[in-house]
Amino acid sequence: MASTLTDIGQEAGCSPATVSRVLNNSGPVSDEIRGRVESAVRQHGYVHRGSVRSNGASKTKSMSAVVYVYRPGPVELVTRGEDGLHVDAPQQVNEREILTSSYQLSNGFFHLVIDGLLDECSHWEVETTIQASSHLDSKSLMRQVKNSDASAVLFVGPYREEVKQFIAEFPAPMVLVGVNYTSRHDAVTIDNFGGIRQAVKHLVELGHSDIGFVGVSDMPDFEERRLAFMAYMQDAGLSVRDDWINLGTLKMAEITERTSKLLTRKDRPTALVCGNDLTAMATIEAAKQCGLRVPEDLSVIGFDDIPVAALLSPPLTTVNVPMQQIGRQAVRQMAIRDSCKDGLNYQGCVTRVATQLVVRQSTAPPATTQLG
């Protein structure tokens, strides 16, 4: 597999954004970091695709982009110690660390999206500026956009209620990356229905019929996944029990607590579809606290396939989202919008990227008898 900006950044001890600045000579970087990046590039045999164009090739139009990375706090970080994985207490986001490796284990979704985005920008020689923030300040961003003469803004981050107002008020061309929200702006997001269909199909083929769902309230992606779960359960001829639809906040301790209450019931489900990998991690912890073995007594399936998924005990069966592809597609959408903005009355377009099931060790056929 070819190396990516994330691989180079991990080797050099810096973020993918810094690697991009070195390769494109597009921003200030210390001599020490530049040397580490160049050394990592040589070790990985990484080829900067913008540098291998034929001498006769040229860009028909110069493009530039501001990548606005939004990571609201507080954040529960997953850390890896000698005795396994731990969930740290919620902490406010340090804006200078949003793009660093300290957030990558538990928040790898957007790290990998940014990696694909920057790699595609590098390929097309798009001048890229990254601004990371834990709050939405449209005035600050607008000043930066105006000063940089950017062709477009790429907004990367999870959906929150404040994002809706930000999007509505933002006058510049923008591509929403990983934000499941319909607006006049372009968006590149996930085929949630296709992913949940794969998850339900897998569990049904294993022989499960008593299947529940663990999700989060008031977030569009989770709501789509809940609706998809209900639809595909009915397609499979299985009943959906309201008391097995487990919704709440995204706080790990709260997910563990409410899932434990479900799992201590005598009529508990034999399998749970989780809205993302972190809810699956909390669900596995709840099962352990209830004396249930995963997958012998309870099958658990996640969604996203962030880096932590393969490190869980047992390794998590999950729906893989091609995060780098989302980032790459966003840059292509930006280019299409940029080419149309002076001509057609361009309307916002939503692109949904297909998913793929990754079967690991957290799912198995149901036991003939249940604990409880």
Give the pLDDT score at 198.
98
Q: Which CATH number fits domain 192-320: 3.30.930.10, 3.40.50.1820, 3.40.50.2300, 3.40.190.10?
A: 3.40.50.2300
The C-alpha atoms of residue 86 and residue 90 are separated, in whole angstroms, by 12
The pLDDT value given to residue 55: 36
User: 61-189+322-353 and 192-320 share one CATH topology?
Assistant: yes
CATH class of 61-189+322-353: alpha beta
| Single-letter amino acid, residue 45 | G
Which residue ranges make up each domain of the chain? 1-51, 61-189+322-353, 192-320
Mean pLDDT by 10 residues, the chain (372 residues): 71 77 70 84 68 39 78 68 66 61 62 87 83 73 66 83 80 83 85 98 98 93 96 97 93 93 96 96 96 98 94 96 94 82 66 97 83 43
Burial of 160 (0-12, 13-18, 19+ CB in 10 A): middle
pLDDT at 111: 80
Tell me if 180 sits within 8 A of 193, measured CB to CB. no
Q: Which two tokens stand for residue 38?
A: 């160049």
Choosing among 1.10.10.10, 1.10.1660.10, 1.10.260.40, 1.20.120.430, the CATH entry for 1-51 is 1.10.260.40
How many Cα neighbours within 13 Å face the side chain of 304? 24
Tokens standing for 154? 């790429």
The DSSP string of 235-263 is HTT----GGGEEEE-S-HHHHHHHHHHHH
| Interatomic CA distance for residues 17 and 103, integer angstroms | 14
Q: Which amino acid is at 27?
A: G
Q: Is the dihedral of CA 258, 237, 226, 364 positive or negative?
A: positive
pLDDT at res. 168:
80
